[in-house]
Structure 1
Amino acid sequence: MRFTRFNTLYRYMFLATGLGTSGSLWAQETVNTAVQLPTIKVEATRTDTEYLKTPASIFRIDAPQQIESAGVNLTEVVKGVPGIQLNNRENYAQDLQLSMRGFGARSTFGVRGIRLYVDGIPATMPDGQGQTSNIDLSSLDHIEVLTGPFSSLYGNSSGGTLLTTTKEGQGKDSVELNYSGGSHDKNRTGLILQGGAKQSNQPSYVISSSYFDTDGYREHSAAHKILNNAKLTWNLDDGSKINWITNYVKINADDPQGLTRDQWKANPKQQVPFLQQFDVRKDIEQTQTGVTWSKPINDQNELYMMGYLGNRKVTQYQSIPKSTQDASKNQAGGVIDFERNYYGADLRWTGKELLPNTTFSVGVALDAMDEDRKGYENYVTVNNQPSYGVKGNLRRDEDNTLWNIDPYLQASWQFLPTWRLDTGVRYSNVHYKSDDHFIVIGNTAKDSNPDDSGKTDYSKVLPSAALSWQIVPELLAYVSYAKGFETPTFTEMAYNPDPDLSGFNFGLKASTSDTYEAGLKSQNRLGDFTLAAFQTKTKDDIVSAGSINGRATFRNADRTLREGIEFTWNKQLWRDLVLNTSYAYLNATFDADVPATASVAAITSGNQIPGVAKNQAYASLAWKPQTGFHGGIDAQYNDKIYVDDKNSDAAPSYTVVAAYAGYTWQMQDWKLNVYSRVDNMFDKSYVGSVIVNDGNSRFFEPADGRNWSAGLRVSKQF
């Protein structure tokens, strides 16, 4: 009955609009008067248009002007955006859990299926694996979240796109010191130096550095993090603009791992006693630098170039028993150790009015990655007994390379005063190669590890189109379509589903999807409204083939289906009193049976895709003046989330409430901002995220109970 009502509403929206995807702007830091909002440009679609005229589902979040939270996790800023699910695992070893309209929900660590960018520099590898750990909230200016068809403009693994932009130096030189503390001995100290250009052709600058540590909410969840971010900006006399961005992050984090339902109910703070001997943890160090350059050649032509390079090192200790590693030489050990060098470039030309009322963009993107990956035993033998948590004998040694060269084209044609057509096409291609250096010749298969070198390629042409109609200046409607493409990551290909076989799972296919979207958005004296309905049909979706003893394997599901509705209403009620609300309905299901393979059970058509909440709702009420008292309260509802493809269990639904208050003083060249905050005010016991398809049924990652934080920020101009 519920599904029938959804289809009826979906058809009604098409009939009512005759067109229309929905785009929207989620202005958590609302400007003073509603009529100013259309002047805000959105960058994610590369069309240089105001948000109200952008034919895409686009949400912009401006960084708060006053300090409202500790500034550690992206979950503190990205709230209430419909279609996005961002969960804090309370586990700094595994990063946040991010999915958009169900894409990326399968990830047990890091980010999958979503493109991430920081100041135009990719934070996602060519295979679609990314992380949010290098996003600096201290120097954040704004975030744009792009969901729906237009995201396919970014190529492989663009089920959604999240773009963060840091501030540019402005005005006088200034120094800022900030500190926040909170529950579980959380401490964060930061320093920011910034200043505008003194003369023409000189750079403005922002330099941010912070240190964070915590004992963690759960046993064995302590973490330490250093994050440095620097941005230099040149606005040159010839009209060109250069940004140089450098970023460094280092994380040392214990991993408490998941709990079974009974363990969660008994004590959500615990680490499973049996796992304590393994000292599971992860060390991460990453350095990245990049340059963006844009230059208007004349009134009609503009060039853009971006180049970047980086290095990432990871050492991770897992909880794999000695007996499992001894069972076969094919087992890669209990320590993952890799060093990755990555680099890329993007070159784009934009031409305006070469044909009447038309804009063209033509570009090519290159991304590449070279990885030296090793695996070691996570023990040494002392008195004939294993001593865990130390690096032992080598069990895996390979060099992996990955690259893509994606040409793309976009065009926008205003063919009538109120009608516009936006189109795009991208040829996305990804090339994998692995050279195996760990080769063992034994008398039996158990004692042997053959040469598992291999390579494979994936490619797809990705068209997109959007037709928009500005019905009246306050109302826009549009319809859009795009084809999506997602390759498996190197990590997802790392193990064969058959435990008796070694080497990469090169038989895993890339998934393809077709997305249709329709909707309306309006801005008037009653507030800002958006309404969108969408449908995504996916072939060969990448799903779990089992996860046990550190081996997460994957297979393809013939068909999956995602259908949903998204709604937002934002209004400045009175003076600096701002109301933000949103609701999202997402029905993500398997649309065909997936047969059983080896020890992995069959999936029945109609089962819910795990890791996805069917209903989400958000509301916040905030008082946000430039100075003086500020404060707010927000509430978030999440529906239950199934933990595996069989839908055998689910993390229950929950509603949590948070509140904060603060005060800002401005005294000539000095500025002081203090805040205090309580999250989960009513001490709700709930699961913050799930480890999808965990083979040991330890699916549940408990969320923190009632917790507090407080801090201050002091700045001085010179």
Structure 2
Amino acid sequence: MPFGPRTSTSADTGTLTLRATAAAAGLLTSLVLVSPAALAQQPQPGAAERDDTAGALAPVVITGSNSWQQRWLAPGSVEVVDGDELRAGQLQINLSESLGRVPGLVVRNRQNYAQDLQISVRGYGARAPFGVRGVRLYVDGIPASAPDGQGQAANFPIASADRIEVIRGPFSALYGSSAGGVIALYTQDGQRPTEWRSSAAAGANGLWRFSTQLSGQTGSTEQPGWSYTLDAGKFATDGERAQSAASRSSANLKLARAHEGGRTVLVLNRQSTQALDPLGLTRNEFDTNPRQTSSAATQFNTRKSVSQTQIGLAWEQSLGNGQRIELMGYGGQRAVRQFQAIPTGAQIPAGSAGGVIDLDRDYWGWNARWRLDRQYDSGRLTVAAGLASDRQTEDRLGYENFIGTTFGVQGRLRRDETNRASTLDPYVQAEWRTDATTLTAGLRHSRVRFNSADRYIATGNPDDSGAAQFDGFSPVLGIRREITPQLQAFASVGRGLETPTLNEVAYRTNGLTGFNPNLGASRSTGVEAGLRGRQAWGSWSATLFDTRSSDEIVVLSNTGGRSTFQNAGRTRRHGLELAGVMQWGRFTITPAYTWMDAVYRDGFLTCAGTPCNTPSAPVAAGNRLPGLAKQQAYLQVAYEPGWANSVFTLEAMHTGRMAVNDRNTESTAASTVFNLGVRFEQQRGDWTLREFVRIDNLSNRTYAGSLIVNEGNGRFYEPGAGRSAYVGVELVRRFR
């Protein structure tokens, strides 16, 4: 049975799988045979050990019945960041504020809310010029990623988060196609007593945020009713550069109720964003003045507006004898309107789609799962089997971004089509767990279909309707073995499938609209092995990983506002991840380090200029994948002096050099940024008051905060923020 999207698999792919499996087994054997020294008594899990609140909304079965066990017992790389850690002394606007402690994960703030964050996991997702690709996002089990793999993190309700789970490595493939990693946020369940919380923050560049949360439970202690959590907030900023002002409003409601043998959860959220787009800078512009904005951005008044409404319902019910049935459904609507900086001359050809995007998307999906959870004398068996489907239908219009000599306004219609994407994924996962050993196996089959119906047909622009389908199996195997109660080894191996997005198949290589029939899916084989330990002074982990892919999806050309893509052969991403939390008196030290070598194993040809009917610029084998640093390090030192419940923090974040394009013609410089913060807390009865002050980029370092990889105009660089000061306050009241 072939595992790839095509009807046959090459000998090289099969050999690669066998080698990866053998490497994992060999390394795991070496780890298990280690003779460890006597270790201190393990720490108690404390506040992190709580019942899993995800219920039927959890998209895939993961080891452990709570978040602390999940991290410790999983046979793969799983990190859990508690909601209090996400919010403590932070602005609570972006995921980039609090996830630096997760190795292998990169979350960069573009300082451009028209393009969202730049997120990658072990190299997957780095090529995305906007939004998130190659990494699956979830909020309360509902996908924040579309069926084609595109997603956005703007609707993550950090202020009411219970926790964020980050899954890296082979096990992420069990979440479907284009899942090089997974980031899942779960909001809090309402508890007794009722709690009201409001917070505000303000600082550099006219930034301010206000949010309020209300959570509790109806009924009585003896007969509880619905648990509820309501979260609403807004933020605005003038931006780091001209043409980068933005505002965002959001609201999130979660209702949950337990019934005999089961649970029902309802989630409703709304988010809207208005943002100007400063675009990237060329190397010369960045070196001359990194705070400037491209003249094209102001000339065309580049901007983007987004509104999204979504509802989700989950229900689970015990069937007796350790069996459960779990059902989840969701639906939503998303509207996007974007004005781009495409020159008027580039819109003259008949096949041009213009410089204004007007998109209206409806999406929905469901997940049905049977689960068996049975305890035996020798261990615990968990089996899950299910079927998941996601669908989206979008009406996409394109207009010219000028009328006569007036730029940045909606002009003539140049594109009119309906695009559809759908997935249908059966999956099964089984796990056998004892105190000393966990064995996990899973298999998912992903089928992704694209369809486009073109309604804009004119002279020189024929009917561009088309369709494409990608499918493949994603098998995963994992093992965890306890060496002592304080030390364990783990290893896993699996295969994943990454499909192109609708945007990536939208244009043929000849520059015309319509599906690119030559663009295929990429397949990857990943293996990881590591050690994790816990002592009285803290915990630590060390992981080696190796991922090899075939038919990597890369940019072929990027001109006139259009990107075309091709498959570029084989790549390799391999490296080391280290992380830990150490306590020493009043100090808490949290380090994270990632070393990753990500290169093209095969050379290929790409376009270096315009026009480009035939690619002729060579990309050499051994070139680095753009947008990825070889080294990334994070260190936080927190000091609690013992007065006024104060906590002082110093953070250091180091990013190594990054290539800006596939040809590696330019690179960013390595940079280290320091952040300083202090927070306080006072309690009186049922009232709690918290304050914080922080200074980001303490040394006012000039650095590239993120990259637009392979940008056709050479505007690769998105500068990081300069020295910035912020203050915030939070007031909490509990009603008993």
Q: Report what 1:684 is aligned to.
A: 701
Structure 2: runs of 5+ lacking an equivalent: 1-20, 33-41, 53-57, 608-613
1:618 aligns with 2:634: yes
2:730 to 695, 708, 713: 713
What secondary structure does 1:616 align onto?
Answer: strand
Q: Which amino acid aligns with 2:425?
A: D
Q: Report what 1:455 is aligned to.
A: 467
Q: CA deviation at 1:12?
A: 10
2:398 to 375, 380, 386: 375
Q: Report what 1:216 is aligned to.
A: 239
What secondary structure does 2:552 align onto?
Answer: strand
Q: CA deviation at 1:634?
A: 1.0
2:650 to 607, 616, 633: 633
Q: Report what 1:347 is aligned to.
A: 368
1:423 to 441, 444, 465: 441
Q: Which amino acid aligns with 2:334?
A: R
Does the CA contact (< 8 Å) of 1:242 and 1:291 recur in 2? Answer: yes
Q: Report what 1:126 is aligned to.
A: 147
1:556 to 567, 586, 592: 567
What secondary structure does 1:92 align onto?
Answer: coil
2:355 to 313, 334, 339: 334
**Partner deviation per Cα, 1:386-430 (whole Å, 9 max, x = no partner):** 21111111100001111111000001124x763332100001110
CA distance in 1, matches of 2:618, 2:51: 48
2:661 to 634, 644, 647: 644
- Judged with a 3 Å threshold, the aligned counterparts in structure 2 of structure 1 residues 197 and 332 are, in CA distance, closer, same or farther, namely same
Does the CA contact (< 8 Å) of 1:19 and 1:477 recur in 2? Answer: no
CA distance in 2, matches of 1:705, 1:364: 48
Does the CA contact (< 8 Å) of 1:67 and 1:674 recur in 2? Answer: no
Q: CA deviation at 1:20?
A: 7.0
Alignment: residue pair count = 684
Q: CA deviation at 1:549?
A: 2.1
Q: Report what 1:3 is aligned to.
A: none
Q: Report what 2:12 is aligned to.
A: none
CA distance in 2, matches of 1:463, 1:16: 20
2:387 to 364, 368, 372: 364
Q: CA deviation at 1:167?
A: 1.0
Task: Give the alignment of 1:152-167 within 5 angstroms.
Answer: 152-167=173-188
Q: Report what 1:595 is aligned to.
A: 605
1:488 aligns with 2:488: no
2:454 to 424, 436, 453: 436
Q: Which amino acid aligns with 2:580?
A: W
Q: Report what 2:411 is aligned to.
A: 392
Q: Report what 2:11 is aligned to.
A: none
**Partner deviation per Cα, 1:149-174 (whole Å, 9 max, x = no partner):** 11011010110000001111122333
Q: Report what 1:404 is aligned to.
A: 423
1:311 to 327, 333, 337: 333
What secondary structure does 2:461 align onto?
Answer: coil
Q: CA deviation at 1:207?
A: 0.9
Q: CA deviation at 1:247?
A: 1.0
**Partner deviation per Cα, 1:163-197 (whole Å, 9 max, x = no partner):** 00111112233332211101000011112222123
Q: Which amino acid aligns with 1:180?
A: A
2:476 to 464, 469, 475: 464
CA distance in 1, matches of 2:101, 2:88: 19
Q: Which amino acid aligns with 1:540?
A: D
What percent identity do the matched residue pairs reach? 37
Q: CA deviation at 1:572?
A: 2.4
Does the CA contact (< 8 Å) of 1:19 and 1:519 recur in 2? Answer: no
CA distance in 1, matches of 2:553, 2:425: 22
CA distance in 2, matches of 1:262, 1:253: 26
Does the CA contact (< 8 Å) of 1:170 and 1:197 recur in 2? Answer: no
CA distance in 2, matches of 1:246, 1:716: 24
1:198 to 199, 209, 219: 219
CA distance in 1, matches of 2:49, 2:298: 55
CA distance in 2, matches of 1:196, 1:19: 51
1:58 to 74, 78, 89: 78
Structure 1: runs of 5+ lacking an equivalent: 1-9, 22-31, 443-447
Does the CA contact (< 8 Å) of 1:319 and 1:549 recur in 2? Answer: no
1:586 to 583, 596, 602: 596
- Judged with a 3 Å threshold, the aligned counterparts in structure 2 of structure 1 residues 166 and 20 are, in CA distance, closer, same or farther, namely farther
Does the CA contact (< 8 Å) of 2:506 and 2:513 recur in 1? Answer: no
CA distance in 2, matches of 1:107, 1:20: 37
Range moving further from structure 2, 527-536 or 106-115: 527-536
Does the CA contact (< 8 Å) of 1:19 and 1:467 recur in 2? Answer: no
- Judged with a 3 Å threshold, the aligned counterparts in structure 2 of structure 1 residues 387 and 599 are, in CA distance, closer, same or farther, namely farther
Q: CA deviation at 1:566?
A: 0.5
Task: Give the alignment of 1:666-681 within 5 angstroms.
Answer: 666-681=683-698
TM-score, scaled relative to structure 2:
0.89
Q: Report what 2:316 is aligned to.
A: 294
Does the CA contact (< 8 Å) of 1:610 and 1:692 recur in 2? Answer: yes
Q: Which amino acid aligns with 1:146?
A: I
Q: Report what 2:255 is aligned to.
A: 232
CA distance in 2, matches of 1:129, 1:364: 21
1:138 aligns with 2:159: yes
What secondary structure does 2:286 align onto?
Answer: helix
1:476 aligns with 2:492: no
Does the CA contact (< 8 Å) of 1:546 and 1:694 recur in 2? Answer: no
- Judged with a 3 Å threshold, the aligned counterparts in structure 2 of structure 1 residues 253 and 166 are, in CA distance, closer, same or farther, namely same
Q: CA deviation at 1:478?
A: 2.0
What secondary structure does 2:714 align onto?
Answer: coil
Does the CA contact (< 8 Å) of 2:74 and 2:438 recur in 1? Answer: no
CA distance in 1, matches of 2:250, 2:180: 28
1:538 aligns with 2:545: no
Q: CA deviation at 1:143?
A: 0.4
Does the CA contact (< 8 Å) of 2:547 and 2:572 recur in 1? Answer: yes
1:183 aligns with 2:200: no
- Judged with a 3 Å threshold, the aligned counterparts in structure 2 of structure 1 residues 431 and 90 are, in CA distance, closer, same or farther, namely same
Does the CA contact (< 8 Å) of 2:296 and 2:341 recur in 1? Answer: no
What secondary structure does 1:150 align onto?
Answer: helix
CA distance in 1, matches of 2:630, 2:510: 33
What secondary structure does 1:138 align onto?
Answer: helix
Q: Report what 1:86 is aligned to.
A: 107
CA distance in 1, matches of 2:200, 2:101: 26
CA distance in 2, matches of 1:511, 1:269: 38
Q: Which amino acid aligns with 1:685?
A: T
- Judged with a 3 Å threshold, the aligned counterparts in structure 2 of structure 1 residues 485 and 408 are, in CA distance, closer, same or farther, namely same
CA distance in 1, matches of 2:729, 2:650: 19
Q: Report what 1:497 is aligned to.
A: 509
Q: CA deviation at 1:548?
A: 2.2
Q: Report what 2:274 is aligned to.
A: 252
- Judged with a 3 Å threshold, the aligned counterparts in structure 2 of structure 1 residues 417 and 76 are, in CA distance, closer, same or farther, namely closer
CA distance in 2, matches of 1:67, 1:554: 42
RMSD: 2.2
Q: CA deviation at 1:711?
A: 1.1
TM-score, scaled relative to structure 1:
0.92
1:512 to 513, 523, 544: 523
Does the CA contact (< 8 Å) of 2:62 and 2:74 recur in 1? Answer: no
- Judged with a 3 Å threshold, the aligned counterparts in structure 2 of structure 1 residues 37 and 67 are, in CA distance, closer, same or farther, namely closer
